[in-house]
Chains A and B, each alone.
Chain A
Amino acid sequence: MAKKSRQATEVTMDMTPMIDVVFLMIIFFMIVSDMTQQDLAEIKLPLAEQAVDDKTEEGRMIVNIFKTGEIEIKKQPYPTLDDSQAATALRSYLAAEVSKGKKDAQGLSERALLIRADKETKFKEVQKVMRICGENGILIYKVQLAAAQNEQK
């Protein structure tokens, strides 16, 4: 009896389910990665029970202060404010930002400043920023202190 020759079968992988899953994963990561957090540096914030939800405000400036006293604004590092060049750079940045916004009758800026300092940062470093805020040509008085919220809230 003659043997039947085996038919070669072409093995193909169905890519459709894999592409579906990969697209779903991309959509998930696009949604959860918040691009607005680019201004926020990696800092350990202190816990505050009364901290209110921080909604992004238009025109608000964010200053990050590390525990070494170094400052970072929009990923731009500034050395400690003991360095006069850094203080001048911060002054000109804040003055430029304030000039873009509205001012009240007293000439004070209506734009707020969020200070995000590490919980171990000496408060005098924060006060250096506050002092610059009070200078002529800047005059920011709305200051917000960033704090971590209690998760059980």
Chain B
Amino acid sequence: MARKKPEIEEVTMELTPMIDVVFLLLIFFIVTMKFKVLEGKLETELPKDVGVNSGEVEDLLEKLEIKITANPTAENGMTIAINDLKMPNLQTFRSRIADFIRLDSEQKATLYPGPKVNYEQVVIVVDQCIMEDLVDITFAGVTWDA
């Protein structure tokens, strides 16, 4: 009697579930993807004394106080004053800051943003200060009323 030859079974891998999962993953990543935004930061400090300091300013000559008031008709919608002296534009503001830095490279400044001033305006002022190497900037503990 002749023996039957054993049949060779073809082994195949079922790819369908893997493709399903891979497509699901792909859809997940496409949907959740957010492109990285070019984002930076401006370093500042808050007053190191505890609570709100309402003490009077003793010596204006050594201190540099920058007051920002909202003014829709002015450049960038704000008026800037250095030690109560109003600056006509950003250019003048920068040159005054540069004068302070020439006298004292470690000059400290305190920023007093008015109640209607927005975040962008404060960032513009801080940015201008840093441009003139005035980096020691702190924020007043109280909202200055214009």
- A interface residues, Cβ below 8 angstroms from B: 15, 18-19, 22-23, 25-26, 29-30, 32-34, 37, 40, 45-54, 65, 106, 108, 114, 117-124, 126-127, 130-131, 133-136, 139-149, 151
Contact = CB atoms under 8 A, between A and B. Distances in A.
A15 B43 CA distance: 54
Interface residues of B, number: 47
Contacts, number: 156
Contacts of A145: 41-42, 44, 119, 122-123, 126
Tell me whether chain B's interface is mostly helix, strand or loop, or mixed: mixed
Interface stretch (B2-10, B26-34, B82-90): B26-34
A54 B119 contact: no
Contacts of A22: 19, 22-23, 26
Interface in B1-52: 15, 18-19, 22-23, 25-26, 29-30, 32-48, 50-52
Contact of B45 (A23, A119, A143): A143
B35 to A, nearest CB: 7
A32 B35 contact: yes
B85 to A, nearest CB: 21
The 5 A-B pairs at the shortest CB distance, nearest first, are namely A51-B40, A29-B29, A46-B120, A119-B120, A50-B130
A148 B39 contact: yes
In this complex, the member of B33, B34, B48, B119 whose beta carbon has the largest number of chain A beta carbons within 10 angstroms is: B119
B31 to A, nearest CB: 10
A114 B44 CA distance: 10
28 contacts: A18-B19, A22-B23, A26-B26, A29-B26, A33-B29, A45-B39, A46-B120, A48-B40, A48-B127, A50-B130, A50-B131, A51-B39, A51-B40, A51-B42, A52-B40, A53-B40, A54-B39, A65-B119, A120-B118, A122-B116, A123-B122, A134-B50, A141-B47, A141-B48, A143-B46, A144-B43, A147-B41, A148-B37
